[in-house]
Amino acid sequence: MAIRERVFNAIITCFKRHGAEVIDTPVFELKETLTGKYGEDSKLIYDLKDQGGELLSLRYDLTVPFARYLAMNKITNIKRYHIAKVYRRDNPAMTRGRYREFYQCDFDIAGQFDPMIPDAECLKIVHEILSDLQLGDFLIKVNDRRILDGMFAVCGVPDSKFRTICSSVDKLDKMPWEEVRSEMVGEKGLSPEAADRIGEYVQLHGGMDLIEQLLQDPKLSQNKMAKEGLEDMKLLFEYLTLFGITGKASEEKIRTTETQVLVASAQKKLLEERLKLVSELWDAGIKAEVLYKKNPKLLNQLQYCEDTGIPLVAIVGEQELKDGVVKLRIVATREEVNIRRESLVEEIRRQTSQP
């Protein structure tokens, strides 16, 4: 409960920071409100009868109740959050902590706005929350239904099968493509050719680079829906870049350590020198690391910094040792400067703005 409270507090703080009000809706809805909203998953809805004979169901998510709330109250514009339990007659995934009763934390912006501005804010919120919770690396996946529908059309999926093939594609997170393909062809009667064409698309992943690639795609770019979806997705990525949350492949790294500098060497046989220098830095209170290999390649040492987000590399080499200097490399800009050994601690502090 203490962990849950800490997590909810972080989430609520973020939701409020973005100007959302809170609403609450009943745990049950009229069955007819939920029917037909979830495609094949409708079988997972809990149905209840009350004494008056009304058919009721436990809410399956917080989205449909929100839509009902907007419709009933004739609300056209609202930014709201809602944290509450939802119910699904699913096979509980105990290992992932997912039971038949579980919490959802919803944040929605309803209304008519210029494209992709609210969408970008919602992704910024996800990013802020996951960063705040310090769960380690994470990858946010984004989708536009028009791209998927356009893709199905150019791959030769008949209209009548769109919904059911869509729910198969949804399972790619949980099962490999081969299984998804055999479900499409075996259970859902899709032609093997269409399935293979879908496979070529759904196994691609990337960020702005992928959007550009798909906009050049001879088949997809001819499809009006897919093209509109891709254009909007491009706009979304431009806004996400302004919000500072896109990596090269839309993958945002969260630093899991606070290391300020990696002590590296440019030639072989310098392990002792690396150990001496890293020890000096530790003693001066600098957060430093060294790779645990006698003769690591410089390229591998620099790659390690890229991967983990370490901002500086202190490089010792034979010439530097003779001259009494250390080469300090700034990972982000790749610029290198020679610093006198006795000034190194001060320079690292300055670069990482630590007093």
* Binding residue positions for L-histidine: 61-63, 88, 104, 108
DSSP letters spanning 90-103: S--BGGGTB-SEEE
User: Would you say 313 and 301 are in contact if contact means Cβ atoms under 8 Å apart?
Assistant: yes
Which single residue is written with the structure tokens 């509109």? 228
User: Would you say 233 and 212 are in contact if contact means Cβ atoms under 8 Å apart?
Assistant: no
**Token pair listed for 347:** 């320079």
Using alpha carbons only, what angle is made at residue 151 by residues 202 and 231, rounded to the nearest 5 degrees? Answer: 100
Greatest pairwise CA separation for the chain in angstroms: 91
- Amino acid letter for position 53: G
- Dihedrals phi, psi of 157, to nearest 5 degrees: -85, 125
**Token pair listed for 173:** 């997170």
Return the CA Rg of the chain: 27
Binding residues: 61-63, 88, 104, 108
User: Would you say 349 and 355 are in contact if contact means Cβ atoms under 8 Å apart?
Assistant: yes
**Cα separation, 175 vs 57, whole angstroms:** 30
- Amino acid letter for position 236: L
Quick one: which of 109, 114, 116 has its CA closest to 18?
A: 109
